[in-house]
A and B are shown apart, each in its own frame.
Chain A
Amino acid sequence: GEDVEQSLFLSVREGDSSVINCTYTDSSSTYLYWYKQEPGAGLQLLTYIFSNMDMKQDQRLTVLLNKKDKHLSLRIADTQTGDSAIYFCAELYFNKFYFGSGTKLNVKP
């Protein structure tokens, strides 16, 4: 579990939905995660999904997992300016996290 990729930037307007995509290489990962990092701050766990699930919804957040294609996405409904941050996907492999490069989400008012 070492190769996790994300697009670097996403810009949306306030109120729109945001979709952040991630691909990973190791099919042995047990859990996949989305973390949020605001400037100068640590990691905030947003949500996670077990590898045998296809979808998980948590309020404004929807995680979709396509295990066959090793593709993970995070949809943020009704995106707000406070959602502007860097979003990292990560896979958990033998208790170790392997992070994507991070997607910087810019929400325009």
Chain B
Amino acid sequence: GAVVSQHPSWVICKSGTSVKIECRSLDFQATTMFWYRQFPKQSLMLMATSNEGSKATYEQGVEKDKFLINHASLTLSTLTVTSAHPEDSSFYICSARDRSVQVSGNTIYFGEGSWLTVV
């Protein structure tokens, strides 16, 4: 099946620094990718929709200046957490849809997720 890869899987950064997480579709092209966040013992919440070649669309309550999303190619979206603080510590996971396949139940794939700890 199609694979979505995230990097890094784990990252620890100091408070006030920025950290970038990559989401790559390895064997398909994705015009749209999605970023989710999961706080400990909570559900996954959609943060934003990443659109190739255009600006990301953010969900209500998500700061676009803090969570910078760039979707520069059909296989790569990046999420940059700027000026990270301990409350940004979370599990970040992306999903991507294979644009060449008609939408069905199993054409949207999740990455393995990235654990961010801000100290």
> Interface residues, chain A, CB within 8 Å of chain B?
30-31, 33, 40-43, 45, 48-50, 88, 92, 95-102
Contacts and interface: CB of A to CB of B under 8 A. Distances in A.
Contacts of B95: 97
| Closest 4 A/B residue pairs (Cβ) | A48-B105, A42-B113, A42-B112, A99-B44
A97 B106 contact: no
A49 B106 CA distance: 10
Given A95-B32, A95-B34, A95-B97, A45 B106 contact: yes
B67 interface: no
A102 B32 contact: no
Interface residues of B, number: 22
B42 to A, nearest CB: 7
A43 B93 contact: yes
A48 B34 contact: no
Contacts of B45: 99
Contacts, number: 51
B75 interface: no
A97 B34 contact: yes
Contact of B43 (A41, A50, A102): A102
Interface in B20-60: 32, 34, 36, 42-46, 49
Interface of B: 32, 34, 36, 42-46, 49, 93, 95, 97, 103-106, 108, 110-113, 115
B43 A99 contact: yes
Given A88-B43, A95-B49, A99-B43, 6 more contacts: A30-B103, A33-B105, A96-B46, A97-B34, A97-B46, A102-B42
A42 B44 contact: no
A99 B44 CA distance: 6
A47 to B, nearest CB: 9
Contacts of A40: 115
A97 B43 CA distance: 12
